[in-house]
Amino acid sequence: MSNLIDIQSQIEKLQKQANEIKAKDFSATVKEILSKMQAFGITVKDLQAPKAGKSGKPGRPAKAKAAATKAPKGARKPSAPVAPKFRGPNGETWSGRGLTPKWLSSLVAQGQSKESFAVKPE
């Protein structure tokens, strides 16, 4: 059990180090991007995605998309959202489908049971 606690404390230390490195790299990256934007005369408006219906190339009309009236064979119908089966301490939710989210797996690793976060049926 003490081995698990040691590993978790190491994880916390490494995550703090990673966040510090990320913060340093973030500011350096922003400076680099700003200098390249100034060098090439790029504005924030240039970076925004073109509006729907425009090709983004001047002088050329946008290509018309073929209207699909039928769904291809074997296509699934969209399903309704699944109700959450687990709720975390900070309001996070999980439907119980797919991979276990990080917030739940970390709480289980700390010794709490998965069932303690189960949502009670109404």
Q: What is the per-residue DSSP string for 94-105?
A: E-S-SSPPHHHH
Contact 109, 8 (CB under 8 A): yes
Tens of pLDDT along 39-75? 989 888 888 877 655 555 555 556 655 555 666 777 7
pLDDT surpasses 80 at 112: yes
Q: Over the Cα atoms of the chain, what is R_g?
A: 24
Enter the tokens of residue 43: 């504005």
Give the pLDDT band (50/70/90) at residue 110.
Answer: very high
pLDDT at 72: 72
84 closest CA partner among 37, 122, 53: 122
Q: Which two tokens stand for residue 86?
A: 């687990």
Q: How far apart are CA 24 and CA 22, in angstroms?
A: 5
